[in-house]
């Protein structure tokens, strides 16, 4: 099959899907896109994403996880699954998005994207239209999309943070984690005019320690950065059962539902589902991907 024929088939599929009547999300509202990010690696970001997705799914929410750590994608490793296809196959027109989705524990879905996001920068306009039509077939069927980014301040991390509508920065009580989180906030606010950030402290010995970490970050941000808002989303306590679950390639929320960290994940998921999300005219899945395509 020549390139022209392949492209025409892609566009025909895109056109038919664009005209199709699609179901609303489970809650009837626009799906939320929450970017879970960090300035430093090793802060437990992927554990947070997957356990939070599990807890949200158990509440009846339709959840999609995007593994967006291009260099060290590990959602599949953490869960002991092996995706056969990923976003790369969609960009080539070989598979649809529904073909590549993988089901995680508790019923949340995973979009494997470890090899393909970088190619968004080189898509033709026709390919972008096709991809957007594909994304609409998935986006209207979910309530929340959690994006697990890489760590640091490289282009890919910034790329996803700018496209998302909500950002949660994960840090730990370690001084280097605090410094790197501040660096990420500085880049996003100073260079890209991002003003609101939610903070989640992981591996804290107590609520008091989590509050101390948050205050340290807030003091530095208030002193050197202007017009930004830092809100403490919550904290995940230090829990020896969590690494046990990781070694078993299971979620702590699934393997040890009564563990202290599991209870906190449930509390955070409840908080997210009961709070009133930020209002955005483009606060849904379609516009998340549109943001990425516009950035490329």
Residue 266, token pair as written in the block: 């449930």
Residues 6+ away with beta carbon under 8 Å from 262: 51, 252, 253, 256
d(Cα 191, Cα 57) in Å, to the nearest integer?
35
pLDDT range class, residue 281, cuts 50, 70, 90:
very low
Amino acid 212: pLDDT: 97
Pairing of strands 63-68, 144-151: parallel
What single DSSP character describes residue 41? T
**Is 1 inside any structural domain?**
no
Q: pLDDT, tens digit, for every residue of 158-195? A: 888 887 889 999 999 999 999 999 999 999 999 889 99
pTM of the model: 0.83
**Is 16 inside any structural domain?**
no
Q: pLDDT, tens digit, for every residue of 143-167? A: 999 998 888 887 778 888 887 889 9
Amino acid 219: pLDDT: 95
Domain count, the chain: 1
**Is 8 inside any structural domain?**
no
Domain interval for residue 67: 30-295
Residues 6+ away with beta carbon under 8 Å from 205: 173, 237, 238
Q: pLDDT, tens digit, for every residue of 88-135? A: 788 778 888 889 899 999 999 998 875 556 666 666 777 777 777 777
Find how far residue 251's CA is from the centre of its chain: 17
| Statement: residue 217 has pLDDT above 70 | yes
Phi, psi dihedral angles at 4 (to 5 degrees) = -65, -40
Find how far residue 44's CA is from the centre of its chain: 14
| Statement: residue 239 has pLDDT above 90 | yes
**Is 12 inside any structural domain?**
no
| Cβ atoms of 134 and 97 closer than 8 Å | yes
Amino acid 70: pLDDT: 58
C-alpha distances (whole Å) from 214 to each of 168, 171, 211 are 13, 9, 5
**Is 2 inside any structural domain?**
no
| Statement: residue 202 has pLDDT above 90 | yes
Kindly report the CATH number assigned to the domain that includes residue 278.
3.40.50.300
Amino acid 295: pLDDT: 61
Amino acid 203: pLDDT: 96
**Is 3 inside any structural domain?**
no
pLDDT range class, residue 67, cuts 50, 70, 90:
confident
- H-assigned helices in 101-248: 125-139, 155-163, 175-192, 207-224, 241-247
**Is 86 inside any structural domain?**
yes
pLDDT range class, residue 82, cuts 50, 70, 90:
confident
**Is 50 inside any structural domain?**
yes
Place of tokens 């920065």: 169
Amino acid 130: pLDDT: 74
Amino acid 231: pLDDT: 95
């Amino acid at each position: 099959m020549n390139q022209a024929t392949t492209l025409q088939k892609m566009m025909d599929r895109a056109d038919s899907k664009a005209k199709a009547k699609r179901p609303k999300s489970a809650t009837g509202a626009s799906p939320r896109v929450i970017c879970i990010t960090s300035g430093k690696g090793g802060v437990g970001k992927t554990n947070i994403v997957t356990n939070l997705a599990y807890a949200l799914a158990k509440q009846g929410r339709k959840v999609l996880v995007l593994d967006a750590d291009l260099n060290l994608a590990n959602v599949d490793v953490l869960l002991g699954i092996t995706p056969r296809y990923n976003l790369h196959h969609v960009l080539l027109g070989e598979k649809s998005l529904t073909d590549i989705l993988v089901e995680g524990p508790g019923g949340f879905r995973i979009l494997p994207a470890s090899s393909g996001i970088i190619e968004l920068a080189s898509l033709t306009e026709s390919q972008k239209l096709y991809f957007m039509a594909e994304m609409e077939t998935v986006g209207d069927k979910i309530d929340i999309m959690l994006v697990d980014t890489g760590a640091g301040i490289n282009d890919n991390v910034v790329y996803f943070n700018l496209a998302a509508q909500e950002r949660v920065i994960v840090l730990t009580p370690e001084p280097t984690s605090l410094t790197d989180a501040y660096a990420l906030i500085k880049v996003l606010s100073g260079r890209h005019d991002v003003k609101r950030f939610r903070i989640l402290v992981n591996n804290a010995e107590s609520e008091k320690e989590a509050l101390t970490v948050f205050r340290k970050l807030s003091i530095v941000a208030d002193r050197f950065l202007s017009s930004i808002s830092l809100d403490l989303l919550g904290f995940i306590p230090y829990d020896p059962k969590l690494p046990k679950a990781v070694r078993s390639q299971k979620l702590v929320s699934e393997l040890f539902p009564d563990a202290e960290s599991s209870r906190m994940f449930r509390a955070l998921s409840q908080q997210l589902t009961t709070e009133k999300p930020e209002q955005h005219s483009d606060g849904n899945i379609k516009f998340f991907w549109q943001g990425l395509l516009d950035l490329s």
